[in-house]
Chain A
Amino acid sequence: QLQLQESGPGLVKPSETLSLICTVSGGSINSRNHYWAWIRQSPGKGLEWIASISYIESTYFNPSLKSRVTISIDTSKDHFSLSLKSVTAADTAVYFCAREIFTASYFDSWGQGALVAVSS
């Protein structure tokens, strides 16, 4: 059974860079049928898609976050990563990684989520 697990610091200072890793197990990250995505949920708020990447490093981004986001994948380590630079308190959220269907961009498997707070 596919499992995704987010990891990274739970606290980031304003203006610094938020970095998270999603480790994939129980399935192959080298899948031509899937993308791998980051989605966040601010406290008490809804869901916001951030970015997606394929195993061949094809990427696409939420236009509202694109200037601050880097997404990468390391198929040898079965993980993909998110970097969000110049963070502010508005970036405080639970960050989920998820598997995205290649031919139809819905998300069929999710990690448990990682809470990242932006505070000095």
Chain B
Amino acid sequence: DIVMTQSPDSLAVSLGERATITCKSSQTILSSSNNQNYLAWYQQRPGHPPRLLFYWASTRASGVPDRFSGSGSGTDFTLTISSLQAEDVAVYYCQQYFSTRALTFGGGTKVEIK
């Protein structure tokens, strides 16, 4: 299985400040056939199901504010919230879909207000 490792486990950021979450895969999830990174990001607010934020590592899902951005390639990826808002308090997960017979998620990063 491809292991997805997120860091940090949690972070506290002041309102309006930047939050950065990293996700590392145990092997490349960049396809040589289409030059796409097979990575998605999700946001899970307390008491809610996960919500898709990004796919193909950096393609923003419908309705996702542009203060959120996804970047990275190969094995190293980043989710950035450029100006943290109160409604961004959540746990964020990455997920690889390169290995389609063994889909795996990262362990999650909890974002709180400082």
Residues of chain A whose beta carbon lies under 8 Å from any beta carbon of chain B: 46-49, 60, 62-63, 96, 101, 104-113
Contact = CB atoms under 8 A, between A and B. Distances in A.
Contacts of B107: 46
Given A104-B97, A105-B97, A106-B40, A49 B50 contact: no
Q: Is the interface of B mostly helix, strand, loop or mixed?
A: loop
A49 B49 contact: no
Contact of A110 (B1, B51, B95, B105): B51
A111 B105 contact: no
A78 B50 CA distance: 22
B77 interface: no
Nearest to B104: A49
**Can you list the 7 inter-chain pairs with the closest CB atoms, starting with the nearest?**
A106-B40, A110-B49, A105-B97, A49-B103, A47-B105, A106-B55, A46-B107
A111 B49 contact: yes
A112 to B, nearest CB: 6
Interface of B: 1, 38, 40, 42, 48-52, 55-56, 61, 93, 95, 97, 100-108
Contacts of A109: 52
A53 to B, nearest CB: 14
A109 B51 CA distance: 7
Contacts of B40: 106-107
B75 to A, nearest CB: 18
Given A46-B93, A46-B108, A47-B93, A108 B52 contact: yes
A48 B51 contact: no
B48 to A, nearest CB: 8
Nearest to B52: A108
B97 A96 contact: no
B50 A104 contact: no
A96 B49 CA distance: 8
Contacts of A49: 103-105
A38 B100 CA distance: 14
Contacts of B102: 62-63
A86 B90 CA distance: 33
Contacts of B106: 46
B97 A46 contact: no
